[in-house]
Structure 1
Amino acid sequence: MPEPDYLGSRRPRLVLYLPHRPKGLAQLVHAPDARALVAANSNHWRKIVTLLAKIACPDADGWRRFRDGDLFRYTGLCFAPALVNTGSWHWIGGKDNLQRFTALLHNARPLANSPDVSIDPDRRLLLTPYPDYRQLSNALVSRIRSSLASHGFYND
């Protein structure tokens, strides 16, 4: 049986697209839980879910509670190279990953002082380096949050 392509909310506010799946995905699909995902995988996945929480959490200071309790009530992880039709924002992490989306048309513009991060508010699309602390510092996460806020992300 093929591995699932999606983990998380059926009505997410943000979907993060990644090129690889975590271990135990088939079990997590039935009961999405960030702590269980991290426990079944490496520190690498802790970084990914932490960055997802830091960007998606409505309250910037409450990201830890959000990550450990509500992350998959409001977000999703997708492993297929096609945007899911949810009306949500779509975050494609990594240049190599973006190349998998061959039919994706967008008009993403780089953030000021952050040329590696682009946003297309009409398509509700966020393009960043791969979600890793070395690529997405706290300062860059703050700039991403500010840009998303200016486009109504936290008001949806």
Structure 2
Amino acid sequence: MKMLNDNSSAPESIRHYFGATTAKIIFYLPSAPTIPKNWHPANEQAIEQLIHANGNHWRKIMVIISKLVCKEFSDWRKVQPSLFQQSSAAHIPLAIVIVNESFEQADDLALDPNILHIICGKNTFSRFSFENIVLDQNLSLNDKQAIQYHHPVFLTPYLDYRQFPNALIALLRPMLHHNTPGFKM
């Protein structure tokens, strides 16, 4: 990931995973955000800093994730600042994994049935090789706004309002919460 105000290319400054260490949902995205210098996902200002450094694009991503994982839908705005916290009663523990062309472990996705894997966009999905997974179930609003899945893997549209509107969020939320112990709606 590109670091702001940082000329070093130290491996410890590169993060392809951020969020809860015991995530129940992992969102896979194709491109990394710019990470502010001295940024840490557990910081209370982490989401705000991420949005400030990356603009409207990452604001939309974080809003959609907030709406999907918050226990009470009406609380998504309150939940958003704490999305990367290790534990919260207000939302399902989550993480974000960046799977770009240089991500070497994309073929080694360990499918723990207790973790829901939300692969955001066909571009991201194409970076994985699933031998035993056939996404044979479907949630859809129309041909372009659909989610294919086979528990625990969900192929969703990219996290953008045009592709992933509130109506599609409303279809997916119950499945995520029903399949996550302790987070029933």
- Indicate the TM-score class for this superposition, using the shorter chain for normalisation: 0.7 to 0.9
Aligned-residue RMSD, C-alpha: 2.4
* CA deviation string 1:8-45 (max 9, x = no partner): 11011211101111101674345352111101112100
Q: How does the TM-score come out when normalised to structure 2?
A: 0.72
Residues 131-150 of structure 1: pairs in structure 2 closer than 5 A? 131-150=159-178
If the length of structure 1 is used for normalisation, what is the TM-score?
0.84
Larger Rg: 2
**The 10-residue stretch of structure 1 (143-152 or 2-11) with the greater mean CA deviation from structure 2:** 143-152
Corresponding residue number in structure 1 for 2:121: 94
Q: After the TM superposition, which parts of structure 1 deviate over 6 Å for at least 4 consecutive aligned residues?
A: none
Q: Decide whether the 8 Å contact of 1:7 with 1:28 is kept in 2.
A: no
- Amino acid paired to 1:78: V
Relative to its length, the structure with more helix (as a share) is 1
Aligned equivalent of 1:55 = 68
In the alignment, what sits opposite 1:111?
Answer: 139
Counterpart code for 2:133 = H
1:16 alignment partner, one of 17, 24, 27 = 27
In 2, Cα distance between the equivalents of 1:114 and 1:104? Answer: 28
Gaps of 5+ in 1: none
Change beyond 3 A, Cα 1:25–1:14:
farther
2: CA distance between counterparts of 1:63 and 1:94? 23
Equivalenced residue count is: 152
User: Pick from 83, 91, 98: which aligns with 2:109?
Assistant: 83
Change (3 A) 1:84 1:76: farther
Match of 1:130 in 2: 158
1:148 partner amino acid: L
Partner of 1:5: 16
Aligned with 1:71 (options 83, 97, 108): 83
